[in-house]
Amino acid sequence: MEHSATTLSHSALLWLIPMFPFIGMLINGLFVRKSRETFAGILASLAMFCSFIVSAVVFFQLVGLDPHHRELTQTIYTWMAVGDFHANISFLMDPLSAVMALVVTGVGFLIHVYSIGYMKGDERVTRYFTQLNLFAFFMLILVMADNYLLMFVGWEGVGLCSYLLIGFWFEDMEKAKAGKKAFVVNRIGDFGFLLGMFLIFITFGSLDFQVVFERATGMDYGAGMVTAITLLLFLGATWKSAQIPLYVWLPDAMAGPTPVSALIHAATMVTAGVYMVARSNVLYMLAPTSLAVVGWIGAATALMAATIGLAQNDIKKVLAYSTVSQLGYMFLACGVGAFGAGIFHLMTHAFFKALLFLGAGAVIHAMHHHLHEIGSDADPQDMRNMGGLKKYLPKTYWTFLIATIAIAGIPGLSGFFSKDEILWKAFSSGNTAIWVIGAVAAGLTAFYMFRLVFMTFFGEFRSAKQGQHPHENPPVMTIPLMILAVLAVIGGWVGIPHVLGGGNHIEAWFHPVFAEAEYIAEIHQGYGIHDAGIEMTLMIISVVIALIGIFLAYHFHLKNREAGEKINKSIKPIYTILHNKYYVDEGYQATVINPILATSRAFLWKFFDVKVVDGTVNGVAWLVNWSASQVRKVQTGQVQNYALMMGVGILLVLLAFVL
């Protein structure tokens, strides 16, 4: 296989993509009054739309280039130049970052528009849209950076914005704690990312992607330094993309406004770790140990989160654990070397999961107003208070159903193509055990998602009072749902596999980015299985598993709910464990948080703070007081003493000159 240096083309448009939301943030944050909430929403949405248009223009510029030269760069200025170290504010647009930019700006625009209706009446709407635009700015910096240092700036920025948006309603202590929890866990991941960057510079003498990857090809396969780098980078990814053991922040992050959940925790920020691993594909292919860790952590996370989702009653919590599970799927793909399949699922997931969150937000919005009207203090997010909403929220129901079918992996919709591509890549690469885990997780996904649909939209409405019921939301909220529903259907058609008569265009699109990784895999791991019959058989098996999951959800949560309740009682210990999320949060509380707090109180507060800090401050005060008391003794108030002291002073000065 021959390799040649890539010739980079230049585009003067790249800087505009992150700049539009940055300008929207500045105008809303500095000049728009709190009372002009509609204007703030329109301005923020317009900024995202402009970014999407420029991203689309740049995308078509890439399409017009030769496949092996699809790279556009723009260097704004030299940020740092110290000795051999150079870092630029420089943007890169290639097939990978182009897809990410389109997802961030396109889905982000729809979520901004939806937020105009969802956040109407909130007293801090202007601040909300300011923070939403700031988040989009940092996310675009992250995916468009051409070096690890600038990527880290975006990485930190989205972490900050996540803290602000999760804890947006900070008057509620639980919501404030959720934001703080996300921020603290973020620090653990950032520690790994930073150490990984330091090792990259020590090893390769640069942080620029192109330089690092070119020099990495000269490293030995399985070299210890590359393994250390990739494991540290993956530590950062486990937080951003909510993988075992650092996934615990994401379910609590549902405390933020639902559009925030759709933007940050479905379509953009949580996929940053997947993007970073895919961007570093050459390094990971040279580190088989790290690759195996990525694959198994992803598989374990996909299965664990799916089982937890079976027993949750909060509609947003179900979707939160679904997100954790789907992110595990993406890492599973990266772990078997199928980086393109992982990013393909990232894209389709952005469509149907953003739609699911926004649909859940529409349900919660309608339930909140209904419960307020009837004077009920019931939880508007608890599915046990819902039921029968299909009749009252038809647009929300049909769009939500489309997204559910997509995530369940039913043929024809987007989730089917990306999910089955991952499962086929896992099996064909020889990772049969990972394929089994992925197939089981897919069946569980179909079950708990249709359980959600049946509990929410079917049966009798369980919060009715005097004939009152919820009402459909305004068009500003339902139109984005319809657009996302279309994308949830057709978004996967660019990846129709060859076995079904398609050209798998998305795989061909990503090929230039992952070509070197594929070359390394061919040399060290072989070509894998290429059998259309086996691929079709596995596809049929996965669809059957999904259909079984849907049937069981229908049987136990719609047709025969008594049977479902009996099963829950018969396996109550297991159900309790799943409902309480394996007690992982309690385990962290007992083994990590409480010991740290106890140590802090015993040592840092009682000893260091009281004796060292307070002792030092009090000691300085005592010394000043004592010194003042001694100096005060010379102030006698007698003129002759002052004259004597003046004479002694003059004498000492004269002696100094003479000597």
Give the model's pLDDT for residue 605. 63
Give the model's pLDDT for residue 184. 85
pLDDT above 80 for 205: yes
pLDDT above 90 covers what percent of the chain? 65
pLDDT category of residue 6 using cuts at 50, 70 and 90? very low
Give the model's pLDDT for residue 466. 67
Inter-residue contact 462 to 569 (CB < 8 Å): no
Give the model's pLDDT for residue 35. 66
| CB-facing half-sphere around the CA of 293: CA atoms within 13 A | 20
Q: What is the pLDDT of residues 376-391, one digit of tens each?
A: 888 889 999 998 999 9
Q: Which helix (H) or strand (E) holds 79?
A: strand 72-82
Give the model's pLDDT for residue 1. 37
Inter-residue contact 284 to 277 (CB < 8 Å): yes
Inter-residue contact 446 to 550 (CB < 8 Å): yes
pLDDT category of residue 3 using cuts at 50, 70 and 90? very low
Average pLDDT value over all residues in the chain? 90
**For residues 15 and 123, which has the higher predicted lDDT (pLDDT)?**
15
Q: What is the pLDDT of residues 442-451, one digit of tens each?
A: 999 999 999 9
Domain boundaries, the chain: 10-146, 148-572, 586-658
Give the model's pLDDT for residue 566. 87
Query: Treating both helix axes as pointing N-terminal to C-terminal, what angle do 339-373 and 272-279 enclose, rounded to 10 degrees?
Result: 170
Give the model's pLDDT for residue 540. 96
Give the model's pLDDT for residue 8. 64
Rounded to an integer, the average pLDDT of 214-220 is 93
For residue 437, give both structure tokens.
């885990």
Q: What is the pLDDT of residues 314-353, one digit of tens each?
A: 999 999 999 999 999 999 999 999 999 999 999 999 999 9
Q: Identify which of 322, 325, 344, 319 has the alpha carbon closest to the alpha carbon of residue 334.
A: 344
Give the model's pLDDT for residue 646. 84
pLDDT above 60 for 174: yes
pLDDT category of residue 529 using cuts at 50, 70 and 90? confident
- Cα 320 from Cα 261, distance rounded (Å): 8
Inter-CA distances, 96 with 230, 341, 504, Å:
19, 12, 16
Query: Treating both helix axes as pointing N-terminal to C-terminal, what angle do 148-166 and 224-240 enclose, rounded to 10 degrees?
Result: 20
pLDDT above 70 covers what percent of the chain? 97
Inter-CA distances, 170 with 40, 112, 126, 177, Å:
21, 21, 16, 8
Give the model's pLDDT for residue 604. 65
Helix, strand, coil % over all residues of the chain, rounded to 5? 75, 5, 20
